[in-house]
Amino acid sequence: MTDLSKLGRLALSAAMRGGTEGWGIHGSSRDHIRYSEPLERRRGRRRRCYCGCGNPVTHRGMANGVCLTQACELGITRWVRTGDVKPMRTHP
């Protein structure tokens, strides 16, 4: 059973809406509610975000308690909204 008291605010909100079946075991960006979590501060260089912004990676994209991707805050915000870290290309 998932201990809801250990979840962050956004995780809890996602768990309330989507349920906690398979929480922390199986996460899908399509089937579960996406949310973001800030990465813990660590010493040393951070990896660069791949969304094209050139900023360091600061957040992770979560679904059902599973980390699915990592990017800058903007990239993860976009991922939560659209399921894609990179901006949508309107003209392919």
Cβ closest to Zn ion, residue 20 vs residue 84: 84
> Candidates 15-23, 29-37, 38-46, 67-75 — which segment interacts with Zn ion by CB under 5 A?
67-75
Binds Zn ion (CB under 5 A): choice among 11, 15, 33, 51: 51
The distance of closest approach from Cβ of residue 82 to Zn ion in the complex, given in angstroms and rounded to an integer, is 14
Residue 24 token pair: 């922390």
Cβ closest to Zn ion, residue 2 vs residue 55: 55
